[in-house]
Amino acid sequence: MVITSATNLVQELASFRERKTIGFVPTMGALHEGHLSLVRQAKAGSDVVVVSIFVNPTQFNNPEDLKNYPREPEADIKKLKLAGADIIFTPTEKEIYPEPDTRIFDFGAMDKVMEGFYRPGHFNGVAQVVKRLFRLVQPQLAFFGEKDFQQLAIIKALTAQEQLPLHIVACPTVREPDGLAMSSRNLLLSATQRAHAPLIYKTLQEAFGKVNSTTVPALKKWVQTTIDANPVLETEYAEIVDAHSLQPITEWNEADSIQLCIAVYAHPIRLIDNIKLK
């Protein structure tokens, strides 16, 4: 069932609230296998699966990026029905933001690095829309991909800060056969860029193999140099961070759990990926 009005969504879900587990997958559409794997995981763990498709303007700090973001509503709805989504919520901007959202969230140092640093305001916009969607859907479970590693940490922080009674389920990154992390933005790559893009994950994997034989700064530098030697790719950042605080580290013993996160331009397309190093 496709629902566009927030009021109808709330009414429809009211009948399930008492007895059923509601699982929620928020998306911005242009759905690929990565999104569908979230839907399948939601299906396995919940009685009713709600998927939203909403390209949230408040999380785009670049108007061109918002304008060019791929939109394929009909194909998305078909894919979601096949994957077993029960309710597909496709609100208009007015439904989500009847008034402009001026709320400023505070995530401390967590959103001052990586995506938060290079896309100022991005996570505030993500928090605005996710908070609103959570309030409408009131799921017990919400599913997010590990590809957006920093987003996942921010959503967990949001849920804790707002004391929301729901569990955030982290789902593994789904990759193309050549290793490229699935992303709606892959649709925007030229054939040449697409052919070179698998170097990103190949480099992350090789970096994982070097952890015991090199220092943190040297590995970071190696990753950046390897990507930048490619004619169509350019690193925006390669950070080795504490997987919980997301703060960059300089020594392997500074954190129990360590992630290498990367943002790479295949101009003007921006791709992100990450790998667990420890």
Residue numbers at the binding site for ligand PAF (CB under 6 A): 26-28, 56, 59, 126, 129-130, 148, 151
Query: Around 234, how many Cα atoms within 13 Å sit in the side-chain half-sphere?
Result: 7
Cα separation, 14 vs 86, whole angstroms: 14
Q: Which is nearer to ligand PAF, 66 or 232 (CB)?
A: 66
Least Cβ distance, residue 205 to ligand PAF (angstroms): 24
Least Cβ distance, residue 262 to ligand PAF (angstroms): 17
Give 79's contacts (C-beta < 8 A, 6+ positions apart).
Answer: 31, 36
Q: Which is nearer to ligand PAF, 125 or 236 (CB)?
A: 125
Out of 35, 122, 167, 267, which one is annotated catalytic? Answer: 35
Q: Which amino acid is at 271?
A: L
Least Cβ distance, residue 172 to ligand PAF (angstroms): 15
Q: Which is nearer to ligand PAF, 48 or 126 (CB)?
A: 126
Query: Around 72, how many Cα atoms within 13 Å sit in the side-chain half-sphere?
Result: 13
Cα separation, 81 vs 164, whole angstroms: 28
Q: Which is nearer to ligand PAF, 87 or 199 (CB)?
A: 87
Cα separation, 188 vs 192, whole angstroms: 12
**Does the annotation mark 35 as catalytic?**
yes
Main-chain phi, psi angles of 271, to 5 degrees:
-115, 145
Q: Mapping DSSP to helix (H, G, I), strand (E, B) and coil, where does residue 198 land?
A: coil
Cα separation, 103 vs 89, whole angstroms: 23
Closest to 29 in 3D by CA, of 58, 65, 80, 72: 72
CA distances from 153 to 29, 211, 246 (A): 21, 23, 8
Least Cβ distance, residue 27 to ligand PAF (angstroms): 5
Least Cβ distance, residue 148 to ligand PAF (angstroms): 5
CA distances from 54 to 25, 73, 143, 165, 204 (A): 11, 10, 16, 23, 31
Q: Which is nearer to ligand PAF, 148 or 207 (CB)?
A: 148
Least Cβ distance, residue 95 to ligand PAF (angstroms): 14
Q: Which is nearer to ligand PAF, 168 or 275 (CB)?
A: 168
Q: Which residues are catalytic?
A: 35
